[in-house]
């Protein structure tokens, strides 16, 4: 009985590896972490649709297009957004909503804070073949954020510029 079970397991593994290679998924990290996974685009579209249904603005939803293109990143990402307000000495995270965004903007204009980030996650997710978040060129250790996956808002003259 055990040899038959072992043969079935070996066949299943061989079939899985063959399917992964055929779909371009031949990476050592496991299928959820491979870039180019055919499940990625539909899962991303589903996540973004859910965020639209929750009323999040398009500039925040567009952050979901940035970062590693592997299934695990989208599947494990939070379904909401946050704001990190910061001064020279401290930072605080609050959940993004229109009121908190307005308060952060007002506090920035009034000089109560130095700036703020809007984000889904502060740190870049590591898909197969990518560097750790803190080894990437966009990592800002002062604010513990990968800038390429966040929107930073700073005072610019008498207004707030977010990019």
Tell me which residue has tokens 């050592």.
28
Residue among 38, 10, 44 nearest 25 (CA) = 38
Q: Where are the domains of the chain?
A: 27-162
Confidence of residue 25 (pLDDT cuts 50, 70, 90): low
* pLDDT score of 27: 86
Verdict on whether the full-model pTM lies above 0.85: no
Alpha-carbon gap, residue 126 to 132, rounded angstroms: 6
| pLDDT tens column, 83-121 | 999 999 999 999 999 999 999 999 999 999 999 999 999
Q: Can you give the pLDDT at residue 26?
A: 65
Query: pLDDT at residue 3 above 80?
Result: no
- 3-class SS at 36? coil
Higher pLDDT, residue 149 or 7 = 149
Taking the alpha carbons of 55, 58, 75, 163 in that order, is the dihedral positive or negative? negative
Alpha helix positions (H), the chain: 2-22, 40-53, 58-61, 71-76, 98-109
Question: pLDDT tens digit string along 127-153?
Answer: 999 999 999 999 999 999 999 999 999
The answer to whether residue 1 scores a pLDDT higher than 70 is: no
Asked whether residue 22 carries a pLDDT value surpassing 80, the answer given is: no
């Amino acid at each position: 009985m055990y040899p038959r079970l072992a043969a079935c397991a070996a066949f299943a593994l061989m079939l899985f590896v063959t399917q992964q290679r055929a779909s371009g998924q031949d990476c050592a990290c496991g299928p959820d972490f491979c870039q180019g996974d055919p499940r990625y685009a539909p899962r991303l579209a589903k996540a973004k649709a859910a965020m639209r249904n929750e009323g999040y603005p398009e500039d925040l939803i567009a952050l979901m297009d940035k970062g590693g293109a592997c299934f695990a990143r989208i599947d494990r990402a939070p379904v909401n957004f946050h704001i990190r307000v910061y001064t020279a000495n401290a930072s605080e995270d609050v959940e993004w909503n229109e009121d908190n965004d307005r308060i952060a903007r007002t506090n920035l204009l009034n000089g109560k804070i130095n700036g703020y980030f809007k984000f889904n996650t502060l740190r870049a997710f590591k898909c197969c073949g990518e560097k750790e978040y803190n080894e990437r060129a966009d990592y800002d250790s002062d604010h513990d954020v990968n800038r390429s996956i966040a929107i930073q808002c700073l005072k610019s003259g008498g207004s707030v510029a977010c990019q």
